Amino acid sequence: MPINSPRPRATRWSRLARLTVAGLAVGLTFGMTLSTAHAAGSILFIGNSFTYAWGSAVRYYRADTVTDLNNQGIGGVPALFKSFTQQAGLSYEVFLETQPGSGIDWHLDNKLGTLGQRPWDTVVMHGYSTLDPKKPGDATVLTSTVRQMADFLRARNPAVDLRLMATWPRADQTYEAKGAWFGKPIEAMARDVRAGYDQAAAGTPGIKGVVPVGEAWVRAMQTGVADDNPYDGIAAGKLNLWTYDGYHASAHGYYLEALVLFGSLTGRDPRSLGDLECSGFELGFSPAQVGALQQVAFDQLAAAGPITAAPLKLAKPAEPNRCVRTR
């Protein structure tokens, strides 16, 4: 089945029944053990290939530093986030639960037992890249399933910090004739996707905010850091944020995603990591590329809301490939 391909959905009543049964089962199974094992600073990423970094070297990057709840050996964007927080001296237990070609409905139908294993401190989730695979741009299903997932997670921890992540615009959906946004500027899909996540957030109690990843991608293009159309060649000196399919991200695109997540979730200035940031070095990025992507992430976060400029100053490592590797 193609990555990010549509999957059948259960009926509303069967899903509600599953939520109820799963919630009871989770409470009975894990209530005794995890009440003492739960550690402060746990963060769970729920998503699909846009979280596990399909099509790039990030997919299996530092998989030993995070916990893949599906035991598929994935590091992905959560491992980049973990690396950034370790370098900043922050302690997070990082977990991920991902499925290719899925929206939040798939996780509701198939993974509640896994997702309910503990009362998470923070959860970041996103749905299908076009909001709805059958009705691109329509946020009805996203809004409904975000609400159901939020209710389930808040039943385990009423204080859970819930975030939605607005994903990036797809070049294949914009520049190819079969695309739902064909003939429109690349910014149009980013705006529509963000509007869908805003709708889902407004319709769901407990959502703290929307992480503006797609808008950061557009900003990178508008400021000349990244090329806006991979189908007509990549301009000299610019990055391609997409991988070869014009759909998923390149390592640079996932790196920008992780920087925006880092700034959104910690309140830290992404630029404070420095242009010799370890993961960028390990992925083969130049200091100039790292610095440019950090600046884009900061500028987008600053445009979206208050963020303290450079609250942290990391020392420049003499050997930038020496990074913290412990959990």
CATH number of the domain enclosing 239: 3.40.50.1110
Task: State both tokens at 322.
Answer: 């020496």
Q: What is the DSSP letter of 226?
A: B
**CA 131 to CA 110: how far, in whole Å?**
19
CA distance to 102, 188, 189, 201, per residue, from 162 (Å): 19, 26, 24, 10
Residue 17 lies in a domain: no
Residue 318 lies in a domain: no
Question: What pLDDT does residue 308 have?
Answer: 73
Question: What pLDDT does residue 111 have?
Answer: 97
Rounded to two decimals, what is the model's pTM? 0.86
What is the mean pLDDT of each successive set of 10 residues along the chain, which is 327 residues long? Answer: 40 48 38 30 97 98 97 98 93 97 97 96 98 98 98 97 98 98 98 98 96 98 98 97 98 98 94 94 96 97 82 55 50
Residue 250 lies in a domain: yes
User: Residue 246 — φ and ψ, nearest 5°?
Assistant: 65, 20
**Are 153 and 115 spatial neighbours (Cβ–Cβ below 8 Å)?**
yes
Number of structural domains in the chain: 1
Alpha helices in the chain (DSSP H): 12-37, 49-52, 76-87, 104-110, 112-115, 140-156, 171-175, 186-202, 213-222, 251-266, 278-282, 287-304
Residue 83 lies in a domain: yes
Walk across the sheet containing 122-125 and list its strands: 67-68, 93-98, 42-47, 122-125, 161-166, 207-212
**Are 115 and 90 spatial neighbours (Cβ–Cβ below 8 Å)?**
no
Residue 7 lies in a domain: no
Question: What pLDDT does residue 12 have?
Answer: 46
Residue 16 lies in a domain: no
Max CA distance (Å), the chain: 59
Which range marks the domain in which residue 154 is found?
Answer: 39-304
Residue 310 lies in a domain: no
Residue 8 lies in a domain: no
**Are 118 and 30 spatial neighbours (Cβ–Cβ below 8 Å)?**
yes
